[in-house]
Chain A
Amino acid sequence: MTTASDCFHCGLQVPPYSDFRLAIDGQQRDFCCPGCQAVAAAIVDGGLEQFYRFRTASATKPEERAVSAKRFEVYNLAEVQLEFVHALGEDRLQASLLLEGITCAACVWLIEHHLGKLAGVMSVRVNATTHRCLVDWQPSQIDLSDVMVALESIGYHPIPATEDRQQAMRQTESRRALMRLAVAGFGMMQVMMVAVALYSGADASWEGFFRWLSFIIATPVVFFSARPFFAAAKRSLLTRHLTMDVPVSLAIGGAYLASTWATVFGGGEVYFDSVSMFTFFLLLGRYLEMRARHRNGIASDRLAQLLPVTVERMDADGGWQPLPLSGVSAGDLILVPAGTTIACDGVVEQGRSAVVETLLTGEPDAIDKQSGDQVIAGTLNTDSALQIRVSAVGASTRLSAIERMVEQAQQDKPAQVAMADRLAGYFVAAVLVVSAVVGAVWWQLEPGRAVWVTLSILVVTCPCALSLASPAALTSAVGWLRQRGLLVTRGHVLEGLNHIDRVIFDKTGTLTLGSPQVVSVVSADDAIDEARLLEICAALETGSTHPIAKAFAPYVSGVEMDNVEQTTGAGVSGVLEGDHYRLGKPAFACAKETIAQPEGQGQWLLLSRNQKPLAWIQLHDQLRESALPLVKALRARGLSLELLSGDAEAEVSRVAAELEFEHWRCNCSPDDKLAHIRDLQNRGQQVMMVGDGINDVPVLSGAFVSVAMGGATDLAQTRADSVLLGRDLRALARAFDCAALTRRIIRQNLSWAIIYNLLALPLAAAGWIPPWAAAIGMSLSSLVVVGNALRIGRRSPEATAV
């Protein structure tokens, strides 16, 4: 799964000059950062190293922040716990937590075992599909914060699961669907058994008995299992838009009523077996589709999850008092410590610090904020504490405005999605008209057989094969893509990919890695080697939450700096073995002399010792390795490509030139991006958007087809139509090939289903098809469709892929 140069834990590339190793199962393994190493060490120390054998996907990279009990201590407060903890009994509480970082079933095993070892934890239950974890614990033995620290130490970031309504809805939906499927399945098996007796010629007395028997079994199937079809048919009639559900309901309802009539008054035929089988197969298709939809590990659906749970507010006598965020109102003065997320919109009253506003702008660099400057909820305060006068909380913040924009964008998803539905509508109308005409003709000729013939038309032309034609192929294609790194979560993606004209990329975190990396070190003093220089830089940046500090995290070693001080907008300084080191802008590091900055892209930092220049360090947000092959592959398919970024012009134009993009735009706010996409779509272009950040969320929702990066924020992932699971962008090119193949298979399936129906229709209309033949014909046509769909997995489009 991982090669020698990849991190054993998270699978990312191990940066040059770094050295993090650990013996696991008797083998030395490399890690990309101290975070991954620490997590692996925690796992091994707990005797749970089997995790690495069980897992089927790489773990996510743990966030580079110190695991401190302090961060979670607020969750021990009773008023904070109100929202996600409830009492199970005396000295037994249950907390519902959302876990970030669950990638496969082995994670569940790891979490359950790791937490199960803690004294005071009664039970742990983790759901790998919903990423939810229920912990029962005894508050007298252990604090909730200790449980959360334990989770963080093995690389899963816990968040209280407060917004449970949607999740509960999803759970009910899936449980209900499973029960309906089970009733239909059991019913089908039993009725089929009885049907064998009926068809093989039971005599009159037994016939009545078997008919009543199948009636009893089929009744719950019709009234419980098939209810969603009736409900949908009613809805579709009310909105005057014919869907597949109408003939389905007519066939099920009609066949059931007619069979009941025949059972009670004798004569005619019974179709209870067809009714049950029909219901079961349709439900099965829908159930599989629903599971694919739910699978997209829905973590946090709401932006509010980004905000801290508590804030420190200045009370009447000038002290700082922690209180839940819901208690804050506009006009309050709050304290935002370094390294925390700002909870409300407001104006800086006191202090100076660098704030990361990636959320709104996509710009990865921190922005200098001092008194009088506006700050926005959800942005990260990095360097030093800020006192903020609150101007907006809750629904009136910029963050909530983005959320509303997202909802709106989703509502006016392009109408092409409904295309397939409309076609089905015509087909349905045709079937209904034909049945009515045939029924009327038979009524004239032979009234006694009219009902039966009409029903057998409805059953034989049962849109079973027709309605399975696309879902079967789509399910099979979705499974294939998932194994190759693209998780498709909305139904229209595969069909939509065939119509895409233009692919739009975000830059930061999508085409690039998303955070600056050390690219090169230019030493001014040959006595010190590069590894040592980077160790010194890393020691200086330890403890900083500034984005630049992340670049040095891989080089952290035992070296400890004294008197580390951060100067906002300039750099850091510290003392090591009596020498005074500075790292940052040239003017800050080396005030006395000016030296020439080396040529090269990205950002150059200067490291100095006692005001003498020591080395230039080049930081750069590098392009992903797979970016160029992807761009080439997409261009070869004749797609037009565009780069849309919130970053400054220089950087965007450079990346655009490097990848030979024909169109690019810079300095785009989330609104600009959305407006641009809408404009393109209004002009008839079909747009696919690839992005990762919160600032991309509205565009992802608005684009015809959208892809979120695997490392994207949960919010971006839930709003996108598909998620790139690995780091390999080329999965996208494969998706285009797969979509083309899928379309071909769907067309074959549809043609088969239509040919079958066209052949069966006249025969049924002539009254030549007995019920058993109709049932067999229907099953066979469905099997052919499903078998054809399974070819997608076998005949992989790999050969044509990049």
Chain B
Amino acid sequence: MESLYLLVPVALIFLAIAIKVLFWAVNSGQYDDLDTEGHRILFDEQPGDAPVSEDKSESSKRSDS
């Protein structure tokens, strides 16, 4: 039972990290458009049709934050 004294604070730290990551994601605009991202997976790419803009827009999201 004494292990709880260690494990519970560790869980708290994980919680803090999870919230921190979510804040970063929200602030970098990843949750601004909840309508499109849900559909994006359905827009299947044809083989050979390199999703140029996808890659680039991903990188720009990071560079923005």
Question: Which A residues are within 8 Å of any B CB, using their own CB?
Answer: 47, 50, 54, 88, 104-106, 108-109, 112-113, 115-117, 121-130, 134, 136, 171, 174-175, 178-179, 182-183, 186, 190, 209, 213, 216-217, 291
Contact = CB atoms under 8 A, between A and B. Distances in A.
Chain B residues touching A, range: 35 or more
B34 A129 contact: yes
Contacts of A186: 15, 18-19
B38 interface: yes
B39 A106 contact: yes
B60 A136 contact: yes
Contacts of B35: 104-105, 128-129
A96 B56 CA distance: 17
Contact of A54 (B5, B43, B54): B43
A179 B12 CA distance: 18
A129 B39 contact: no
A104 B49 CA distance: 22
A171 B32 contact: yes
B12 A217 contact: yes
A121 B59 CA distance: 13
A123 B58 CA distance: 9
Given A126-B36, A179-B23, 19 more contacts: A54-B39, A54-B42, A105-B36, A112-B54, A112-B57, A113-B51, A116-B51, A123-B53, A123-B59, A124-B53, A128-B33, A129-B34, A175-B27, A175-B32, A182-B23, A186-B18, A190-B11, A190-B12, A209-B8
Given A47-B49, A122-B56, A128-B35, A216 B61 contact: no
Nearest to A177: B26
Contact of A128 (B36, B46, B52): B36
Contact of B52 (A117, A127, A174, A217): A117
Among B23, B31, B32, the most chain A Cβ lie within 10 Å of the Cβ of B32
Nearest to A51: B43
Nearest to B50: A116
14 contacts: A54-B43, A88-B63, A109-B40, A109-B43, A116-B56, A123-B57, A123-B59, A124-B53, A127-B36, A174-B32, A182-B22, A182-B23, A190-B15, A217-B15
Contacts of B32: 127, 129-130, 171, 174-175
B64 to A, nearest CB: 9
Contacts of B42: 54
Nearest to B32: A127
Contacts of B15: 186, 190, 217
Interface of B: 4-5, 8, 11-12, 15, 18-19, 22-23, 26-27, 31-36, 38-40, 42-44, 46, 49, 51-54, 56-57, 59-61, 63
A44 to B, nearest CB: 14
Contacts of A121: 53
B57 A179 contact: no
Main secondary structure of the interface of A (DSSP, over half): helix
Contacts of A122: 56, 60
Main secondary structure of the interface of B (DSSP, over half): helix
Contacts of A217: 12, 15
Contacts of A106: 39, 43
Nearest to A110: B43
Contacts of B22: 179, 182
A125 B43 contact: no
A115 B19 contact: no
Contact of B53 (A88, A113, A182, A213): A113
A479 B52 CA distance: 35
Contacts of A136: 56, 60
A50 B45 CA distance: 9
Nearest to A176: B26
Contacts of A178: 26, 31
B56 to A, nearest CB: 4
Among A121, A178, A291, the most chain B Cβ lie within 10 Å of the Cβ of A178
A407 B23 CA distance: 35
A183 B59 contact: no
Given A127-B33, A186-B19, A179 B26 contact: yes
Q: Give 4 closest A-B pairs by Cβ, nearest first.
A: A116-B53, A105-B39, A123-B56, A123-B60
A660 B15 CA distance: 66
Among B33, B49, B53, the most chain A Cβ lie within 10 Å of the Cβ of B53
Contacts of A130: 32-33
A128 B31 CA distance: 12
A750 to B, nearest CB: 30
A217 B12 CA distance: 8
A631 B8 CA distance: 66
Given A54-B42, A179-B23, A182-B19, A216 B33 contact: no
Nearest to A183: B19
Nearest to A108: B36
B60 A115 contact: no
B21 to A, nearest CB: 10
Nearest to B31: A178
A125 B61 contact: yes
A115 B52 CA distance: 10
A130 B40 CA distance: 17
Contacts of B56: 116, 122-124, 136
B9 to A, nearest CB: 9
Nearest to A213: B8
Nearest to B38: A105
A171 to B, nearest CB: 7
Contacts of B57: 112, 123-125
Nearest to A174: B32
Given A129-B33, A186-B19, A216 B12 contact: yes
B26 A112 contact: no
B8 to A, nearest CB: 6
A215 to B, nearest CB: 12
Contacts of A134: 60
A364 B40 CA distance: 41
Contacts of B63: 88
Nearest to A115: B53
B27 to A, nearest CB: 7
Contacts of A209: 4-5, 8
